[in-house]
Amino acid sequence: SQVYLNGVFLPLEEARVPVLDRGFLFGDGVYEVIPVYGRKPLALEAHLDRLEHSLAGIRLDNPLVRTAWVSLLERLIQEATTDDQSLYLQVTRGVAPRDHGFPLQVPPTVFAMSKPLTPVPPAWVQAGVAAVTRVDDRWLHCDLKTTALLANVLLRQQALDEGAVECLLLRTGFLTEGAASNVVLVVEGVLCSPPRNHLLLAGITLDLVLHLAVQLGIAHAERPIREEELRSAEEIWITSSTREMVPVTRLDGKPVGTGQPGPIGLRLLSAYQALKSHG
Ligand code: PMP
């Protein structure tokens, strides 16, 4: 199917970016991943708002106005082969002779594609998944969704190497997020999540889940979470656009709570399932 590159729709196999692209050389770019259910993007405006935040954070002008983003993504959605999709878009600082300083008058590279959304394995939700913990050794601008993901890649791979699905990150003894997900947990009956600041990405899925919590009358506290609280939590859930809500039932080889997906997260998950299919 067709992808978008710098104003043109063309087959993926034909889409080419020069090796001097700063995305390739420096990871100098930002991106978004937007889930699509039944050919309807979920929380599109929130994703495009976050794109603006990421672009501003790396001092790159938004190359497209909102309506242009919406119409190009709409075309990718309509031309895709499946109803449920994952939209990917990225903007880099363009192609220029290699030099750390920003190039002058260089157009950004704008790329977008759709791929089929891989369903979350039912066993992940039924039994939960294993996660490990690591020290969060990333930089201090984790609120920006940048393509410079080497630290996240290495952390995620350490989880996979141990047969786990996600790596939960601890900075100075406090939980931040997962390598590619946010974390919500239940501590002494209360739904908690770490403060949304420069140490983690403000996840759109997390935001939707927290809105559902309000609707369901589930109390929520956004506050710093100590490592010991993570380790003694009754429930741990990871959230992301492509994996929705997945229960973590083993952390560093030990059971989380009862070792089964917990009731508060399950209520939120079923509300999330309803939201994604009916808007
Ligand atoms: N944190 C990180 C580091 C991520 O890469 C992601 C996205 N996969 C998330 C959180 C979750 O964000 P969202 O719910 O917007 O997908």
Catalytic residue among 40, 115, 145, 276: 145
Instruction: Give ranges for CATH 3.30.470.10 in the chain.
Output: 2-116
User: Which pLDDT does position 279 carry in this prediction?
Assistant: 65
Give the other-Cβ count within 10 Å of 74's Cβ: 13
C-alpha 232 to ligand 1 mean position (Å): 24
**CA-205 nearest atom, ligand 1:** 14
Instruction: Check residue 1 and give its pLDDT.
Output: 82
Smallest CA-to-CA distance from 188 within 94, 126, 257 is with 257
| Span from the CA of 181 to the centroid of ligand 1 (angstroms) | 4
Q: How confident is the model at residue 278 (pLDDT cuts 50, 70, 90)?
A: confident
Residue 18 has pLDDT above 90, yes or no: yes
Can you say whether the dihedral through the CA atoms of 193, 29, 157, 239 is positive or negative?
A: positive
Chain segment 106-150, per-residue pLDDT in tens: 999 999 999 999 999 999 999 999 999 999 999 999 999 999 999
Share of the chain above pLDDT 90, in %: 99
**Cα 103 off chain centre by:** 29
pTM of the model: 0.98
**Using one digit for the tens of pLDDT, what is the confidence trace for 217-226?**
999 999 999 9
Q: Report the nearest atom of ligand 1 relative to the CA of 50.
A: 15
Q: Looking at the domain that runs over 122-278, which CATH code has it been given?
A: 3.20.10.10
Nearest to 188 by CA among 260, 262, 266: 262
Please compute the mean of the pLDDT values over residues 85-102 and round it to a whole number: 98
**Annotation marks residue 115 as catalytic:** no
| Closest approach atom of ligand 1 to CA 204 | 15
Domain with CATH 3.20.10.10 in the chain: 122-278
Is 181 touching ligand 1 by the criterion CB < 6 Å? yes
pLDDT in tens, 37-83: 999 999 999 999 999 999 999 999 999 999 999 999 999 999 999 99
Q: Which two tokens stand for residue 92?
A: 């880099």
Domain 2-116 fold: D-amino Acid Aminotransferase; Chain A, domain 1 (3.30.470)
**Residue 239 near ligand 1, beta carbon < 6 Å:** yes
Q: What number is the ipTM of this complex?
A: 0.99
Residue whose CA lies nearest to ligand 1 atom number 1: 181
